[in-house]
A and B are shown apart, each in its own frame.
Chain A
């Protein structure tokens, strides 16, 4: 069941088209990654859903309600990229403040705060000012403040930026728990490996338009196809004839400048790798190392956008 639907969202800032017909859906209980190079329109899209940007045209539906772009719906939780906390307040006081502003009070607020502190692993630090927290702890509290009022849909803008791997794992565990409880989460990230490992689906946006959406295997099928990238490192450069024969195209295969590293795309490694090794042996070269890699989100992303995510 779709909880959030974005249809043909368009938004211009002056001459710049920030959104150019973006369309996608968020399903109940899923953790959806929104990927795109810088300036692709991710933040504009998130802000439009949050009621902070008014679309020029198009439609955003949340639980079948069309959003007017003026106010943030109450069943939406927002986790901004900035650490949007009051540094002189303690963790508990920050949660009290934002919980109160979301309409929580009394025992309900206390219960939710205890839940959030427990989920974020900050229960024993609840009484300390936030300014004393590490980056990872602040990030976790930042998320807690956005989900404290138990929204059914949560938008997270770069929730793991600038934190160490341990904190990142903890944050994703937290998000997975939320998703398991039926909350739908849409997050933007620059960490492709995280999106690949932790998110159920991925939406790739570029130039204000969604250019692909689906699970990793669906994206691979839609884009680069089912292949393996085989990398061979040789003891000496290939002969000129053989190097010419292996000169690749734009699909990642070919010989590097040193002539000692050879890359080849193979649909069936078991069938295609032995003849290749035989030809190398015939050329009088030995293979020092072999690496076989399946298609990744990185390769999908580069295939679709023609650039690295951080460009």
Chain B
């Protein structure tokens, strides 16, 4: 027993990969997830960007907009440019901002809201505020809805009270002159109590619902579930594409080097560049096939709208698989053994997948983490698929994602070629 324990301990002490997998990997992942998810509660939590359209131009709508603007967790935009420049937003422009993914929610304050609010107060009855939303982000619309109700309660308490008194008089009879005088003296004080920084915190305010709100899904409403499935198919698909590319590249280079077939290949006319290009093309084709099978399964089992998005899917899949294959070759060229490749690539791929949105949507992360995610391969691939399946973007709008993926592909292939020199003539 003691001898077995000694042998096992000695093996562990001398096996760096085993040590890494045993001790380092859990720490790395704990740190990543603590950073990604733990960051949601601190000061860097993402502020929700919203577009605001004022079709009412009343005192009430102005106060609502000011109240929304004062909310710490919101970043409002009333003009075409987020910096405050450009033309004032219209409903159409705001909807386009949501559709393109620039903001997850837009609030449209319809004409007549101010008048109804002043007249009826809590009784409502006015036109409904419209919340134009992108339901690929299930959190933002709900948060904005709650904050809107809170702002409605706190931004114009005097107007709300005036409306309430009118309703009271309508059903209970007019107030006495003394009562009226007291109310008139009280209203300015009430107006002065309106918060200037969104610090008001009334639990009942959010439940009173003083204004009616219609939530409008501006994205596809005909097959919303299928489009959401495409988002998850892409997330999981890209992560496993990376795993299979690394495994394939490891088999293509490390196993062949170990078996001696790489030596034999290099003694033919093909050369190291030819070997790498041949392996890269094969890995990319297998990756395309892998993603296609995954999306086809999504179509069959979950109604994913694959066939109505075939060109965009094909382009994103080809470019994503090409970049993943090239990354696999880099890692395989870098590693000295299969075990080393396995340990290192597992850490890298899971880290990239966590940061890049394969495991957890990036739009739910803090702003800093969202920006950090852009350093990963996954984020660009997922953004591309999201544009195709969710935002219905025309193919030309994929150019930023495709440019990054193509650049990464060339970068990875170049690095792999340099690293592969170790298998060439000594």
A-B contacts, CB under 8 A, total = 54
* Partner-binding segment picked from A65-73, A181-189, A278-286: A65-73
Contacting residues, chain A, for B265 (C-beta < 8 A): 101
Q: Is the CB of A54 within 8 A of B259?
A: no
Q: Is the CB of A53 within 8 A of B263?
A: no
Question: Which of chain B's residues has its CB closest to A50's CB?
Answer: B267
Query: Is residue B185 within 8 Å, beta carbon to beta carbon, of the partner chain?
Result: no
* 286-341 of chain B: CB within 8 A of chain A: none
Q: Is the CB of A52 within 8 A of B263?
A: yes
Q: Is the CB of B269 within 8 A of A74?
A: yes
Q: Is the CB of A81 within 8 A of B260?
A: yes
Query: Is residue A192 within 8 Å, beta carbon to beta carbon, of the partner chain?
Result: no
Query: Is residue B266 within 8 Å, beta carbon to beta carbon, of the partner chain?
Result: yes
Known: A71-B271, A74-B269. A80 touches B264 (CB 8 A): yes
Q: Is the CB of A78 within 8 A of B267?
A: yes
Known: A52-B266, A72-B266, A72-B267. A84 touches B259 (CB 8 A): yes
* 86-115 of chain A: CB within 8 A of chain B: 86, 98, 101-103
- Cα distance A85–B262 when bound, in Å? 10
Question: Which listed residue (B261, B270, B271, B424) contacts A84, Cβ 8 A?
Answer: B261
Contacting residues, chain B, for A50 (C-beta < 8 A): 267
Question: Which listed residue (A54, A81, A85, A101) contacts B425, Cβ 8 A?
Answer: A54
Whole-angstrom distance from the CB of A162 to the nearest CB of chain B?
Answer: 14
Query: Is residue B426 within 8 Å, beta carbon to beta carbon, of the partner chain?
Result: yes
Question: Which of chain A's residues has its CB closest to B424's CB?
Answer: A52
Q: Is the CB of A84 within 8 A of B269?
A: no
Q: Is the CB of B425 within 8 A of A53?
A: yes
Q: Is the CB of A84 within 8 A of B268?
A: no
Question: Which listed residue (B269, B270, B271, B425) contacts A69, Cβ 8 A?
Answer: B425
Q: Is the CB of A54 within 8 A of B426?
A: yes
Known: A52-B426, A54-B425, A101-B269. A78 touches B261 (CB 8 A): no
Contacting residues, chain B, for A82 (C-beta < 8 A): 259-260, 263
Q: Is the CB of A103 within 8 A of B269?
A: yes
* 30-58 of chain A: CB within 8 A of chain B: 47, 50-54
Contacting residues, chain B, for A230 (C-beta < 8 A): none
* 173-217 of chain A: CB within 8 A of chain B: none
Query: Is residue A83 within 8 Å, beta carbon to beta carbon, of the partner chain?
Result: yes
- Cα distance A71–B267 when bound, in Å? 7
Whole-angstrom distance from the CB of B286 to the nearest CB of chain A?
Answer: 16
Centre residue among A70, A84, A103 by max chain B CB count within 10 A: A84
- Cα distance A80–B258 when bound, in Å? 12
Q: Is the CB of B261 within 8 A of A52?
A: no
- Cα distance A211–B6 when bound, in Å? 48
Known: A71-B271, A102-B268. A84 touches B425 (CB 8 A): no
Whole-angstrom distance from the CB of B60 to the nearest CB of chain A?
Answer: 75
Centre residue among A69, A72, A81, A102 by max chain B CB count within 10 A: A72
- Cα distance A98–B267 when bound, in Å? 10
Query: Is residue A145 within 8 Å, beta carbon to beta carbon, of the partner chain?
Result: yes
- Cα distance A80–B426 when bound, in Å? 17
- Cα distance A86–B367 when bound, in Å? 50
Contacting residues, chain B, for A74 (C-beta < 8 A): 269
Contacting residues, chain B, for A54 (C-beta < 8 A): 425-426
Whole-angstrom distance from the CB of A236 to the nearest CB of chain B?
Answer: 49
Whole-angstrom distance from the CB of B100 to the nearest CB of chain A?
Answer: 49
- Cα distance A259–B426 when bound, in Å? 54
Nearest first, the 8 closest Cβ-Cβ pairs linking A and B are A82-B260, A84-B260, A101-B268, A72-B267, A84-B264, A78-B267, A84-B261, A80-B260
